[in-house]
A = this chain, B = another copy of it.
């Protein structure tokens, strides 16, 4: 590159900042984590794979860490937050869809009967999400999400949804990145629903977000190209879909994976089975007071097979109630 007059000072300043931030980070990592077995296991793993010359050393480009989003980086009760977004869109779009008054699951939803609307389980959720997300261009959809996430409040806590991200997990993401890891989201949620806000909230750029996705159609409108969302489900990034999504997007196997439900089990199996050391973490929702307590019987974020397999395989299970000093972001 051509040298500019300020090139050296800029580089020097960048170096000073890098050194300064090294000093700033010289505090104990994961401050919102109690001195638990979980915390010790995480730190021990990171120290092991970053220690040059050790047999467990993993070169930085291969330090891939994948995180589920719903119930792992932010809360997911009483319903996936993307569903609240879709509900708000059903209400907003209802005047343009008179047929919804007669058609389930929309009819029940518009009457406020969420239980009836969700009687069809995951299929109803997908139907509602697809119907309310399709037809927009990617730019229109991004704006709809950005506007909603900036203002919508959670029905129980009254917080913004982005205030319901977990402080200990923000610290874990930062700790891994400070140690040369590249952090990815691998979520059953919609990829286009996450991207507008995760960079600011988690420090994860759009190209490191993997999620479920619908179709996209390239069109020229008045000579201007647009990508229009279409209603089919192209990739369901859940269960077996998670390793598939990881392979397709990243093309490398993670060495660190965190989730909280049976939907994450295959991602953890895939991470554990690599040639490199693999760290598998389950977040266990045990805190009915500060958050929600649920596992084997839950409709949302069911953790049943995963608990059994984690026990057999010695994966780390973080008990939110006892392991976390703080739950939501400060």
Contacts and interface: CB of A to CB of B under 8 A. Distances in A.
Contact of A218 (B12, B25, B240): B240
A246 to B, nearest CB: 9
Interface string A188-199: 000110010001
A293 interface: no
A217 to B, nearest CB: 8
Interface of A is mostly: helix
Given A227-B247, A244-B216, A244-B227, A29 B15 contact: no
A25 B179 CA distance: 27
B266 A207 contact: no
A92 interface: no
**This chain: how many copies in the complex?**
2
Contact of A216 (B3, B11, B12, B247): B247
Contacts of A191: 248, 251
B19 A8 contact: yes
Contact of A250 (B14, B26, B207, B244): B207
23 contacts: A1-B25, A1-B29, A1-B178, A1-B179, A2-B26, A2-B43, A7-B22, A7-B26, A11-B18, A11-B19, A11-B22, A14-B18, A15-B19, A61-B199, A182-B207, A191-B251, A195-B251, A217-B240, A218-B243, A225-B266, A225-B269, A227-B244, A227-B247
Complex A-B, nearest 9 residue pairs according to Cβ-Cβ distance, in ascending order: A206-B251, A15-B15, A218-B240, A3-B26, A207-B250, A195-B251, A216-B244, A225-B269, A1-B178
